[in-house]
Amino acid sequence: QVQLVESGGGLVQAGGSLRLSCVASGNIFSINAMGWYRRTPGKQRELVAHITSGGSTNYADSVKGRFTISRDNAKETVYLQMNDLKPEDTAVYYCNVLPYNVLYWGQGTQVTVSS
């Protein structure tokens, strides 16, 4: 019954910013930690940021200082503010619980950063 819908991706130049949103249905907020993952063609998904049910956050070294994850339990939404984007950030971005549930993967949102 859980559905995750990502939005906010797009095409930007290096140094630009995007704000991604993930709306969740199925009453999973306030129970689970949430994470943002990304995948490039032919590669596994990697975890780039997560936020616990208590509000603690953690980031991959590659995005520290540039990305910020936040959540709004009332709206059942998790956000990813992405600043100073680099070409290597190009990927499809997904949200999921942490640890991920294979049944929850949605379509993701494409982020493309040009040099």
| Mean pLDDT across 43-67 | 95
| Mean pLDDT across 51-68 | 96
- Which helix (H) or strand (E) covers residue 32, if one does? none
**Would you say residue 80 has pLDDT above 90?**
yes
| Mean pLDDT across 83-90 | 97
**Would you say residue 76 has pLDDT above 90?**
yes
pLDDT tier for residue 65 given thresholds of 50, 70 and 90? very high
Backbone angles phi, psi at 88, to 5 degrees: -70, -10
Q: What is the mean pLDDT of the chain?
A: 95
* Max Cα-Cα span within the chain: 40
**Would you say residue 51 has pLDDT above 80?**
yes
- Could you give the CA distance from residue 29 to residue 92 in angstroms, rounded to a whole number? 23
Task: Decide if 115 contacts 15 (C-beta within 8 A).
Answer: no
pLDDT tier for residue 85 given thresholds of 50, 70 and 90? very high
For the segment 14-36, what is each residue's pLDDT rounded down to a tens digit?
A: 999 999 999 999 888 878 899 99
Which pLDDT value is given to residue 34? 96
